[in-house]
Structure formats: structure tokens, C-alpha cells
Amino acid sequence: MKYRRLGTTDLDVSVICLGTMTWGVQNSEADAHAQLDRAVETHGINFIDTAEMYPVPPTAETQGDTERHIGSWLAQRPGMRARVIIGSKVVGANNSSPHMRDGKGRLDRAAIMAAVDGSLRRLRTDYIDLYQTHSPDRGTNVFGRQDYVHEPARDGVPIEETLGVLADLVTAGKVRHVGVSNETPWGLAEHLNRAAQSGAPRVEAIQNPYSLLNRVFEIGLAEMAIRARCGLLAYSPLAMGLLAGKYLGGARPTGARLTLFQRFKRYDKPRQEAATAAYVALAREAGLDPAQMALAFVNARPFVTATIIGATTLEQLDANARSIDLVLSGDVLARIEAIHAGNPNPCP
């Protein structure tokens, strides 16, 4: 495994981060424990990503189960908490569900305090290493939304208020470091500037989507990630599994995520199939596994701190984790750029 520094902190996180949002829906508690054991002991992964709203799809019956599975794993393995770095997230207005705080998710004091205490109970720990806002509280381009429309009426809780609450959590020792997710260039800059002005903890990471099908992060955020030392935690690096090639030609494999759940439309775009087919064909021509090629591309970006992989089987976890050992040749990288130039960002 390879490790990178998390922002300006003293934490070195594994470049491959273990995503967990299927635990509690597609994966049982026993599956979760097996994945955690394999990730830590076999692959050297020390970074675990979760959220209070997981698993996904979110329901009232399963909400929080993902954190509970991590918590029971930690409880059964004395000393393990010191070996792993756990990131969790608090929902905001853009991803609140009716069963969570009556559907009135806001990044205000009452909501954040309730959320972090709930996560700590479920995780069976007294601190969270990286605590992130899951999405902005204002109306902006998140979760695949395009064509920004300015809506001041949806501004929600001011960023400085949210940062003040997070600062109190750091002071109390419940949170070590803070971050953001699904943020825009303006949002990241505002968080960094407000923190610098107020003395609040700085944002140390940004968790946004990034893959061969969605390289929008490069346009306005990549330079910020590097210059501000606030690296990307890349989620959906396989575009919901599309870049593995298993859905090409309209295929819907039994048990696969897009087969089971019709709600995931973010990558159901007109140009997706052609771009995916081109990347998969390139991988196969080069003698590479398509998923590993897609992950290796993300792993090597200079603005990426970690690539968040998700798996429903140990075999998938093993294959995805091994992408850390793959270095793409100059020829493969050039051909990736040619495909991207001809069909850029089909799934922003």
C-alpha cells in the first residue's frame, strides 16, 4: 500500500480508502467485518469512509447500520481503533432524508451535535478522525446537478456558523480534523478563507466524484486541492461500476448495484455508453483489467489524496486494492486523453 498525508495534518492515509455505503443493504455485518479484516490485514488499508446516512439507498430501517457494523468490528478487535483512520459525514440540506431529523437536515449547531454524537455511539469510539459536511447547505450544483441557478433563498446555514460548531467539536476532542464533500470551488475557498479569518479548523480534504467519466474536478478544484493542500478523496472512481464494463450493452448482472436499484440515474447519460466502451476496449487491448485501469488513473492524479473503493465481495475488494500496484504506461495515458478529448465528461 502507498500512503499520503491528509492535508496539513499529521495523518498518513492509505491511497486506497475503503468505502462502506453498501454495508447494511447489499452486505451483512459479517460481510463488513470480513472486508475490514481483508482491507487492513492483507492490503494495508488504514482509511475507512462512512457517513451517518449510510447505507445507500437510505431508509429509516437501515440508517446508521454501516457505522454500527464498523463499531462492532472495532469492539471485537482491541487495539484496532488506533490503527485505522475513520471518516464520517453529517447530512445537510441537499442530502437530508425524511427519516433523518424530520427531513430538515441543516448544518447548524443542534443538527451537527446530534449527528456526531449518534455517529460516535454507533462507531463505538470517542473520536472521529475526519468529520465532513456531506453536502453544502446552500442551493448549488451537487450530485450531478448542472447549469447553476443562483438561489439565495436556499443559502441555509452560513459557512462560518458551521465552522464554529466544528471548531467546538475539535476542541472537545470528538473530532480530530474536518472536511467537506460535494463542494464547489467557491465553497471550498469560502471554507478555507473563513477558517483562516476565525481561527476555526481548516478543511483538510474534499470528497467529490472523480473518474474517467467525470473529470470535472480538474476544471476548478484540482489547482485548489494542490495549492491549498486540501486533497481530493475521490468517490465513485468506477462510476457506480460502469467502468468495470459489466453493464455494457445494457447488461444487468444479477446482484449488481444498478440491477438492484433503479434510483441511481446519475450516470444514466446519453454519451456514457460510448465513452465507457472506449475505455474498456483500451484496457483490454493493453492487457489490463478495466476496473484496475480506471482506478490506477485516479490513484496517480497529483491532486488526489485517496481513492474510495467500494466492493460487495472480497474478490472485488482484492482486485480494486491491487490497483495501487498498477502504473499506467505513457501510451495508455495518451490514449485515455484521446478518448477524453473526443468525449469529455459524459457523466458530470
Give the three cell numbers for residue 283: 484496457
Q: Which of 323, 292, 305 is closest to 87 using CA atoms?
A: 305
CATH of the domain at 176: 3.20.20.100
pLDDT above 90: residue 343 = yes
Residue 91 is part of which domain span? Answer: 3-244+293-327
Q: Residue 62 to residues 53, 117, 247, 281: CA-CA distances in angstroms? A: 9, 18, 27, 38
Active site residue 267: no
Classify residue 336: in a domain, yes or no: no
Q: What's the pLDDT score for residue 97?
A: 81
Classify residue 92: in a domain, yes or no: yes
Classify residue 332: in a domain, yes or no: no
pLDDT above 70 covers a percentage of the chain that reads: 100
Count of domains in the chain? 1
Q: Can you tell me the mean pLDDT for 37-43? A: 98
On whether the CB atoms of residues 243 and 280 are closer than 8 A, the answer is: yes
> Could you say which of 54, 210, 247, 267 is catalytic?
54
Confidence at 83, pLDDT banded by 50, 70, 90: very high
Q: What's the pLDDT score for residue 88?
A: 98
Alpha carbon distance 288, 237 (integer Å): 17
Please give the residue that has the higher pLDDT: either 110 or 266. 110
Give the three cell numbers for residue 328: 499506467
Mean pLDDT (the chain, rounded): 95
Q: What's the pLDDT score for residue 16?
A: 98
Confidence at 262, pLDDT banded by 50, 70, 90: confident
Q: Can you tell me the mean pLDDT for 68-80? A: 97
Confidence at 103, pLDDT banded by 50, 70, 90: confident
Q: What's the pLDDT score for residue 27?
A: 97
Q: What's the pLDDT score for residue 8?
A: 98
Q: Is 236 left (phi over 0), alpha (psi -120 to 50) or beta?
A: left
Give the three cell numbers for residue 63: 440508517
Amino acid, single-letter form, for residue 121: R
Classify residue 88: in a domain, yes or no: yes
Residue by residue, DSSP assigns 110-139 as: HHHHHHHHHHHHHHT-S-EEEEEESS-SSS
**3-class DSSP state for residue 18?**
strand
Alpha carbon distance 204, 12 (integer Å): 12
Classify residue 337: in a domain, yes or no: no
Q: What's the pLDDT score for residue 258?
A: 83
Q: What's the pLDDT score for residue 298?
A: 99
pLDDT above 80: residue 54 = yes
Q: Can you tell me the mean pLDDT for 103-112? A: 88
Q: Can you tell me the mean pLDDT for 67-76? A: 98
Q: What's the pLDDT score for residue 63?
A: 96
Classify residue 340: in a domain, yes or no: no
Q: What's the pLDDT score for residue 145?
A: 84
pLDDT above 80: residue 280 = yes
Please give the residue that has the higher pLDDT: either 156 or 203. 203
Classify residue 263: in a domain, yes or no: no
Classify residue 279: in a domain, yes or no: no
pLDDT above 80: residue 188 = yes
Confidence at 202, pLDDT banded by 50, 70, 90: very high
Q: What's the pLDDT score for residue 124?
A: 98
* Per-residue pLDDT tens over the stretch 118-150: 999 999 999 999 999 999 999 888 888 888 889
* Per-residue pLDDT tens over the stretch 294-331: 999 999 999 999 999 999 999 999 999 999 999 999 99
